[in-house]
Amino acid sequence: MIASRRIVLGVTGGIAAYKAAALARALVLAGAEVRTVMTDSATRFLGPATLAAITGTRPVVDLFDDPAVSPHTDLAAWADLVVIAPATTATLARLAAGLSSDAVSATVIAFAGPVVLAPAMHTEMWEHPATVRNVATLRDDGYRIVGPAAGPLAGGDVGIGRMAEPDDIVSAIDAALAPGDLEGLRVLVDAGGTREPIDPVRYIGNRSSGKMGNAIARAAARRGAAVTLVTTAEPPDDDRIEVVPVETAQEMAEAMWRRAPEVDVAVLAAAVADFRPARPADRKLRRTDGLEAVPLEPTPDILRGIAEMPERPFLVGFAAQVGDLAGAVDKARSKGVDLLVANDVSKEGSGFGTDTNEVVLVAPDGATETWPLLAKDEVAERLWDRIVALRGEEAPT
């Protein structure tokens, strides 16, 4: 998709700007025509002459000193796609607010096509509430965000905030240039942790926040799918997503089983309780009454139920593990899924309620692929990339 496409590369002022030269080179080698635009602070990390030598055109740096009458609108009218790498905290804030105070943000605001952002900053800046809000706004506005990844940062620090590698950004650009790759598909997602009542007040539950399932549903909707989200958690504020609220494993099973035969892809990201109280009380239990035990019984196996349907959708399951992921491999082999996504919830940054996740993809034959610690939204985008590729391999030739 990149060959012969016109791409504007925007570079902003962070130490990761040095990677922009490698990205520009990779895009040129892929057959793209590349033009560049830089903030003034970016020139302190990467010389404009470097980008000029790689792309064959000088970067736009100053809107007023450039020989063109309106360089930012000229770039916007010319481009098929704009990518900002690195995208600093300040750049994300400007774009989220619709500000155009430098050459890079002015070009993006003037552009109506797909925009890919590759954030790069220290962990504390990435996790700051304002940045979290800005990223959410940008995603809702249709920006495609790749990374950041975890790893070494400036000043010897280590954590999430490292700019995605050029190859990963190229892959994101390739996907963004094929918008609507889920157009026409019907997608079913479940999310959150089920709550199994002990009495009308108390329940057995888990710490699942529903963030991963929400991210998967949002990403599918952005890519053109008709999405139904069955959830126990607070759903995304997205009118493209049909939300089915449930509470218990039984309610979730009935909702999922009823809809699964009608969809093309089902992604089961919810943390469903394996057991429920066998005889929940119909009134609040009092401490003075005493309680010797809470007898438990198994809950429905939602994943297996869909896998055994005669006309089932492409099926993706999730497996929350603690420590060894051998159980996830066994699950992938025994449950009849097309793909299993496993994560160790005991790992820092990969547990319930976090905005990041470190997952391992498990194929039905037990083959595994480990992804680094990523933002959950980025995990969702990569997961849909993989689902699209796998479904394409299954399509008749």
Of 117, 150, 176, the residue that ends a domain is 176
- Stretch 68-77: mean pLDDT: 85
Percentage of the chain exceeding pLDDT 90: 53
Provide the domain limits for residue 259.
Answer: 186-394
12's tokens? 């902003």
- What pLDDT is attached to residue 178? 67
Same-domain status, 70 and 155: yes
- Stretch 153-168: mean pLDDT: 80
What total number of domains does the chain contain?
2
Same-domain status, 303 and 357: yes
52-56, 154-158, 161-165, 261-265: lowest mean pLDDT where?
154-158
pLDDT(155) > 80: no
- What pLDDT is attached to residue 352? 78
Same-domain status, 121 and 208: no
User: Does residue 181 lie in a domain region?
Assistant: no
Highest mean pLDDT (candidates 12-21, 243-252, 284-293): 243-252
Same-domain status, 147 and 192: no
- Stretch 142-161: mean pLDDT: 80
Of 176, 194, 217, the residue that ends a domain is 176
- Cα 315 to chain centroid distance, Å, stands at 18
pLDDT(230) > 70: yes
pLDDT(144) > 50: yes
Which one has a higher pLDDT value, 353 or 317? 317
pLDDT(345) > 50: yes
The distance between the two most distant Cα atoms of the chain, rounded to a whole number of Å, is 84
Query: If 0-12 CB within 10 Å is exposed, 13-18 middle and 19+ buried, where does residue 16 land?
Result: buried
Residues 150 and 374: their CA atoms lie apart, in Å, by 7
User: Does residue 62 lie in a domain region?
Assistant: yes
283's tokens? 């009134």
- What pLDDT is attached to residue 394? 66
Of 176, 202, 237, the residue that ends a domain is 176
| Omega within 30 of 0 (cis) for the link into 86 | yes
- Stretch 74-87: mean pLDDT: 91
The CATH number for 150's domain is: 3.40.50.1950
pLDDT band at 5 (very low <50, low <70, confident <90, very high): confident
Same-domain status, 194 and 293: yes
156-160, 220-224, 238-242, 355-359: lowest mean pLDDT where?
156-160
Same-domain status, 108 and 211: no
Helix axes 18-29, 48-55, angle to 10 degrees: 10
User: Does residue 1 lie in a domain region?
Assistant: no
User: Does residue 320 lie in a domain region?
Assistant: yes
Same-domain status, 247 and 373: yes
- Stretch 41-60: mean pLDDT: 93
Indicate which residue of 206, 214, 343, 357 is catalytic: 206
Q: Which of 260, 366, 244, 390 is nearest to 313 (CA)?
A: 260
The three state secondary structure string of the chain is CCCCCEEEEEECCCHHHHHHHHHHHHHHHCCCEEEEEECCHHHHCCCHHHHHHHHCCCCECCCCCCCCCCHHHHHHHHCCEEEEEEECHHHHHHHHHCCCCCHHHHHHHCCCCCEEEEECCCHHHHHCHHHHHHHHHHHHCCCEECCCEEEECHHHCEEEEECCCHHHHHHHHHHHCCCCCCCCCEEEEEECECCEECCCCCEECCCCCCHHHHHHHHHHHHCCCEEEEEECCCCCCCCCEEEEECCCHHHHHHHHHHHHHHCCEEEECCECCCEEECCCCCCCCCHHHCCCCCCEEECCCHHHHHHCCCCCCEEEEEEEECCCCHHHHHHHHHCCCCEEEEEECCCCCCCCCCCEECEEEECCCCCEEECCCEEHHHHHHHHHHHHHHHHHHHCCC
User: Does residue 144 lie in a domain region?
Assistant: yes
- What pLDDT is attached to residue 270? 96
- Stretch 299-315: mean pLDDT: 95
Same-domain status, 14 and 121: yes
134 is annotated as an active-site residue: no
pLDDT(353) > 50: yes
User: Does residue 342 lie in a domain region?
Assistant: yes
Backbone angles phi, psi at 167, to 5 degrees: -60, -40
Same-domain status, 250 and 159: no
Same-domain status, 70 and 154: yes
| Omega within 30 of 0 (cis) for the link into 148 | yes
Angle at 43 between CA 40 and CA 44, to 5 degrees: 105
pLDDT band at 397 (very low <50, low <70, confident <90, very high): very low
- Cα 47 to chain centroid distance, Å, stands at 33
Same-domain status, 123 and 209: no
pLDDT(210) > 70: yes
pLDDT tens digits for range 235-260: 987 778 999 999 999 999 999 999 99
pLDDT tens digits for range 171-206: 888 878 865 789 899 999 999 999 999 989 999 988
- Stretch 228-241: mean pLDDT: 90
pLDDT band at 68 (very low <50, low <70, confident <90, very high): confident
- What pLDDT is attached to residue 395? 56
Q: Which residues pair with 307 in a beta bridge?
A: none
pLDDT(229) > 90: yes
Q: How high is the mean pLDDT of the chain?
A: 89
Neighbours of 28 (CB within 10 A): 16
pLDDT band at 392 (very low <50, low <70, confident <90, very high): confident
pLDDT tens digits for range 83-124: 999 999 999 999 999 998 899 999 999 998 889 999 998 888
- Stretch 19-26: mean pLDDT: 94
Same-domain status, 132 and 198: no
Query: What does the radius of gyration of the chain's CA atoms come to, in whole angstroms?
Result: 23
User: Does residue 107 lie in a domain region?
Assistant: yes
82-91, 155-164, 231-240: lowest mean pLDDT where?
155-164
The CATH number for 284's domain is: 3.40.50.10300
